[in-house]
Amino acid sequence: MFEKLKGYRVEGNKVYFQYEGENTGKNPCEKNPCEKNPCGKEPCVEVISDSIINVFADYNGLGHRSRAIEWDAQKGNDTSENAKSGKLETVSQDESGVTIKTKKLTAVVGDNFRVDFYDNNGMPLSLAFRGERKERPAISPMMLAFLAKEGHASAGSILGDYPVQEVRALDDADCIYGLGDKTGFLNKRHYMYEMWNTDNPNPQEDNFKALYKSIPFMLVLKEKGAYGIFFDNHSKTYFDMGKEGEEYYVLGAEEGNLDYYFIGGEGLKDVVADYTWLTGRAPMQQLWTLGFHQSRWGYETEEEIRGIAEGMKKHELPCDCIHFDIDYMDSFKVFTWNKETYKDGGKVISDFKDMGIKAVTIIDPGVKVEKDYYVYEEGMENGYFAKTPEGEVYVNEVWPGDAVFPDFGNPKVRTWWGEKQKYLVDLGVAGVWNDMNEPASFRGPLPDDIVFTDEDMAAPHSQMHNIYGHNMAKATYEGWKKLTGKRPFVITRACYGGSQKYTTGWTGDNHSIWAHLRMAIPQLCNMGLSGMSFVGTDVGGFGSDCTPELFARWIQVGCFSPLFRDHAAKGTRMQEPWQFGEEILSISRKYINLRYELLPYIYDLMHECEMSGMPMMRPLVLEYDKDENVKNRNDEFMLGDRILVAPVVEQGAREKLVYLPEGTWYDYWTGEKVEGKSSFIRKAPLDLCPIYVKAGAVIPKYPVRMHVGEDKDDLLILEVYPGEGTYTHYQDNGENFDYHQGGFNTYEIHNHDGQVEVKKQHDGYRDYGKIEVRKSAAFEK
Ligand code: GLC
């Protein structure tokens, strides 16, 4: 595309390049013609901060139209507390190209707009690939037709050569993480993925290319150093992570611009911190959202859903939230209530409130086509729904039958949708679960050319699809913030990079199969590395029938997942914790209780996430990225940096092969001391999930309570472990944004082998009734 480098010019933090030759590759403008800046004339490299460099070729002449970076990275006007500076230090040219230096990174731009990145000691971090790409032997059209007949539809998708493309070199030792919500294992190397928000309810294998969310962000851990690439193109993109050829990876798109952010760091934590700085960090949620949530599609009547709340009490299971799936609506019309089956909505919700249980209701984007239905009429009157290229309102089918799709890319539609939330707020609902927002549709996918709005201009579905869920979540979040002043609790199925500013997420329709329990760990960990920290899977699995053993093991993983929700599909085996007999009920109670004990620790992690971008649930490799033994560890994870969870995820297993990284650890249950950098077998009967705590740790705990807010003498317990350590504990009202105005406390806690000093550091909220230090079982050994 770009041939020989002719020259460059510098404008502030930007360096523009001039190249010889016309655009000789496929022309991205064919799909999206433009006149302003044909085929990326004068591509640009721009310093965003000392460790972030943007690479940009403006193929469509529209400039940066990021929906993930919602401050002007190009103008550098980040006014947030975390604002950082960075500038282009020097630019020089020699035979290898134009060298651009920041305080931390060096980029060398050469012929063909190849960009190589180095750290400032000259160590290569990421080089453009210069070799030949490998083509797989072609398959004849006849053979392809045979393959398709037997259902092998994806056969024949061979070499991906995309109009917008970046091919970069891989070193043998490189591991690849992130990519948001993808199936398979932690390390994405050798796999191929697509970013196209997809509702595919089949059991998800490791060869699945796309799921509900598209977060085009990858992290590469090298033998030395780490980097990330945020490929900020929200049309359909392709991530070949070394599948086509061992020595390179390919990022591709059929439309949009070449627009990526290179983030260089010493370790993975630097990369996560920078990515979340760039795309925004997840703000804190209300404390109750960390409690246990019970849900099911198919609680068909008010009596039935009341029975669930009573069941939780009867079985002494702490619970903060019951979810109302589509069953509560009148004919699946959003912002309505089925008065026949669910009676007076306000009453059940206020009765739940009296029991300390919140209600979260599902809201889908598809608005039923029905005369006199107020949401439909208002949207039609104002032109708020997506249209065909001929200008007709576009209709497809979702739960309510014929439905139309709000055009969430239009700011006016978002405001309107935000105002519609008042219906739920007035009913006493506490949060919203946004579903089907890929958007899913039953009469085939939405055609590529359906017309939406992208803020201030029309844009086709092909460009708006991946940000539909993002914009819906943004509308919902902003509406709730305005209406309630509280921290809005939104859960989404579909999203894009940066959605963490507005929403939490769940992994959609998994199945009650062991493979899905196993996958939950790398899937949630990779989402955390991709900015989405508050996430969870449907505990017990959504589709298929759960077994008692699977449920017991899943609740043990759920206990440490940020979103802890039991949910299942209509027609599957009932899946509340008491449906599997006494043993499973008591195991469930044990782990739900443990979750409630750990609430202040998890809340601290949520605060850390807003401050630094570090996810609550972490792969071991995030903490120990020099340790070869954890680079591919899929069946253990960390909650913060001091609790390691090694759950059993195999049917029938009553032992677990545990690996602990460097340092001294204590078995949470027995207090036994174990030196790290070792593997061993831990007995793991069905009621035991192996957990290890780092030496010197302080773990803040609450007494078990039936729900958040239940008064338990306002007691904070500091559980301490042998060794030396410091810990910062955070406390606020758990509800609104006062903490942004200083309404919080922080405590600095020093643990000198069980001798504990607590010092208040920031004083902006009421004190605890009592703080009690408890020595863990490790002191008795
Ligand atoms: C979708 C959701 C699922 C929900 C169902 C009915 O399949 O992913 O969680 O229960 O729709 O609303």
pLDDT for residue 39? 57
pLDDT for residue 150? 82
Q: Report the separation in Å between the CA atom of 20 and the middle of ligand 1, taken as the mean of its atom positions.
A: 53
Annotated catalytic residue, options 274, 407, 509, 623: 509
Q: Which residues line ligand 1 (CB under 6 A)?
A: 297, 325-326, 362, 435, 493, 508-509, 542, 567
Q: How do strand 226-231 and strand 538-539 relate by DSSP bridges?
A: unpaired
Q: How do strand 292-294 and strand 321-324 relate by DSSP bridges?
A: parallel
* Burial track 283-295 (b if 16+ CB lie within 10 A, e otherwise): bbbbbbbbbbbbb
498 class by beta-carbon count within 10 Å (0-12 exposed, 13-18 middle, 19+ buried): buried
What CA–CA distance (Å, rounded) separates 538 from 506? 7
In 3D space, the residue among 539, 499, 526, 535 whose CA is nearest the CA of residue 183 turns out to be 526
Q: Report the separation in Å between the CA atom of 471 and the middle of ligand 1, taken as the mean of its atom positions.
A: 20
- Please give the average pLDDT of every successive group of 10 residues along the chain, which has 781 residues: 92 94 50 50 93 95 94 68 74 96 97 96 97 83 82 62 94 98 97 96 93 98 98 97 95 96 98 97 97 98 98 98 98 98 94 98 98 98 98 98 98 98 98 98 98 97 98 98 98 98 98 98 98 98 98 98 98 98 98 98 98 98 98 98 98 98 98 98 98 98 95 91 98 97 98 98 97 97 80
Q: Report the separation in Å between the CA atom of 559 and the middle of ligand 1, taken as the mean of its atom positions.
A: 22
Q: What would the DSSP string read from start to end of 13-50?
A: TEEEEEESS---S--GGGTS--SSSGGGSS-EEEEEET
In 3D space, the residue among 670, 614, 684 whose CA is nearest the CA of residue 642 turns out to be 614
Phi and psi at residue 30, in whole multiples of 5°? -55, -40
Annotated catalytic residue, options 166, 232, 435, 610: 435
Q: Tens digit of pLDDT for each residue in 520-542?
A: 999 999 999 999 999 999 999 99
H or E element, residue 286: none
Annotated catalytic residue, options 58, 116, 438, 538: 438
Single-letter code of the amino acid located at 320: D
Ligand 1 pocket: which of 212, 322, 509, 512 to mutate (most atoms within 8 A of CB):
509
Q: Report the separation in Å between the CA atom of 334 and the middle of ligand 1, taken as the mean of its atom positions.
A: 14
Three state DSSP letters for 529-580:
HCCCCCEECEECCCECCCCHHHHHHHHHHHCCCCCEEECCCCCCCCCCHHHH
In 3D space, the residue among 779, 776, 778 whose CA is nearest the CA of residue 717 turns out to be 776
Three-class SS state of 684: coil
Query: Which residues, at least 6 apart from 209, have a Cβ–Cβ distance to it below 8 Å?
Result: 154, 192, 193, 194
In 3D space, the residue among 414, 450, 452, 448 whose CA is nearest the CA of residue 434 turns out to be 414
Ligand 1 pocket: which of 211, 362, 516 to mutate (most atoms within 8 A of CB):
362
Query: Which residues, at least 6 apart from 18, have a Cβ–Cβ distance to it below 8 Å?
Result: 5, 6, 7, 8, 9, 42
258 and 59 Cβ atoms separated by less than 8 Å? yes
Phi and psi at residue 680, in whole multiples of 5°? -160, 170
What CA–CA distance (Å, rounded) separates 493 from 437? 7
pLDDT for residue 22? 52
Q: Tens digit of pLDDT for each residue in 694-735?
A: 999 999 999 999 999 897 779 999 999 999 999 999 999 999
Quick check: is 509 catalytic? yes
Ligand 1 pocket: which of 435, 511, 539 to mutate (most atoms within 8 A of CB):
435
108 and 5 Cβ atoms separated by less than 8 Å? no
624 and 631 Cβ atoms separated by less than 8 Å? no
* Nearest atom (ligand 1) to Cα of 542: 9
Three-class SS state of 436: coil
H or E element, residue 588: helix 582-597
What CA–CA distance (Å, rounded) separates 60 from 156? 30
What CA–CA distance (Å, rounded) separates 234 from 436? 18
What CA–CA distance (Å, rounded) separates 318 from 497? 34
pLDDT for residue 154? 59
Q: What is the pTM of this model?
A: 0.96
Phi and psi at residue 362, in whole multiples of 5°? -80, 145
pLDDT for residue 536? 98
Neighbours of 24 (CB within 10 A): 10
pLDDT for residue 34? 46
Q: How far is CA 258 from CA 66, 125, 128, 470, in A?
A: 12, 20, 14, 21
H or E element, residue 379: helix 374-382
Q: Report the separation in Å between the CA atom of 141 and the middle of ligand 1, taken as the mean of its atom positions.
A: 38
698 and 756 Cβ atoms separated by less than 8 Å? yes
pLDDT for residue 474? 98
Cis status, amide bond into 365, omega within 30 of 0: no
Q: Report the separation in Å between the CA atom of 393 and the middle of ligand 1, taken as the mean of its atom positions.
A: 25
What CA–CA distance (Å, rounded) separates 449 from 109? 36
* Nearest atom (ligand 1) to Cα of 436: 1
pLDDT for residue 713? 77
Tokens representing 214 are 């598209």
Q: Where are the alpha helices (DSSP H) in 598-654?
A: 599-612, 620-623
Q: How far is CA 39 from CA 9, 18, 313, 585, 765, in A?
A: 19, 12, 64, 62, 56
Ligand 1, atom 12: nearest CA belongs to which residue?
326
What CA–CA distance (Å, rounded) separates 439 from 467? 10
Beta bridge partners of 694: 665
pLDDT for residue 155? 55
Cα-only R_g, the chain: 26
pLDDT for residue 80? 59
H or E element, residue 196: none
Q: How far is CA 167 from CA 41, 128, 248, 724, in A?
A: 20, 6, 7, 47
